[in-house]
Amino acid sequence: MDTSPSPDTRPAALVAGASRGIGYAIARRLACAGYDLTLSARDAAALDEVAADLAELGARVATVPADMADEGTPRRVAAEHAERFGRLDALVISAGVGSAAPVAGYPVKRFDKQFSVNVRSPFLLIGECLELLRATAARRPTTGAKIIAISSVTAQAPEPGLAAYAASKAALSALCAAVNTEESVHGVAATAICPGYVDTDMSAWTHDRIPPEAMIAADDIAELAVSLTRLSRRAVVPELAVLRSGSELWRA
C-alpha cells in the first residue's frame, strides 16, 4: 500500500465492515468522490482485494484487519487511521452481525455477540474518533464531519425472530441520536441509516421468501451515505429509513 502522506486537501474516511456488502459499496462511492480511506474488516485477504480496487480509483488506502467483537479493536483502528491520514471527515460503521431465532430460548452467546459488534463496538469507535472528527469539522466550516452507521428498519418495526437483532440496531440508532445532542454543536453529525433487506451476503438466508431483485440495492444505501457527507453542518439527520418497495413497506 502507498504510505506517503495524504494531501491536506483530500478528505479521509474510516469504513468499518468494508470488505463486502454495504460497507464496500460506501467505500467505493467515497473513493469515487475523492476520499482517502482506512478500511477495516475481519478478512485480511478480502480487504486487500478491496484496497487494490479502490486504489485504481485514485484513493490512498490503508487496511486494518480487525474483529469488531474484540474490545480493543476500536482504539487500534482509530489510532491507525489517525496516524495514517491525520483527519477524519466521515466515520462509516457498517460492521454488524445478525442472528434469527425466537425470544424463548434465545442463545445468550448469540445475544452478546450482536450487542458487542452492533452496539459496544460503535460506541467505543465513535468515542475514540471524536477528537479527530471535531478537529476535522473545525477545518470544514461548511459541512463539518459525519458519522454514518448502518442500522436496520427492524429498529423501528421489529419482526418475529429478530428481537435481539432489532434491539441491538435500535440501540445503535439511539446512540446516533444521543451523539448529535453532544457533538452537533462541534460540527459532528451522526446518522443511522435503517434499511430493509439489502441485496448482500448477509441477507442471503431470506432468499426462499424474498428474492434478491426484491431487495434494496447496496448502491442505494451508498448513494445516501455519500449524500449525507455533503449536507451542511446546520442539518442533522439522526435517522433515515429506507424501505423495500411493495404493499408492506414497513417490513424488513
Give the residue numbers marked as catalytic.
165
Q: Angle at CA 144, nearest 5°, toward 26 and 130? A: 80
* CA 154/CA 159 separation, integer angstroms: 7
* CA 220/CA 195 separation, integer angstroms: 10
Q: Angle at CA 179, nearest 5°, toward 112 and 234? A: 145
Q: Are 129 and 171 in contact (CB under 8 A)?
A: no
Cell of 210: 424474498
* CA 209/CA 235 separation, integer angstroms: 38
Residue 174 in 3-state DSSP? helix
Of 246, 69, 232, 67, nearest in space to 153 by CA: 246
* CA 194/CA 176 separation, integer angstroms: 12
Number of DSSP helices (H) and strands (E) in the chain, helices first: 7, 7
* CA 73/CA 53 separation, integer angstroms: 25
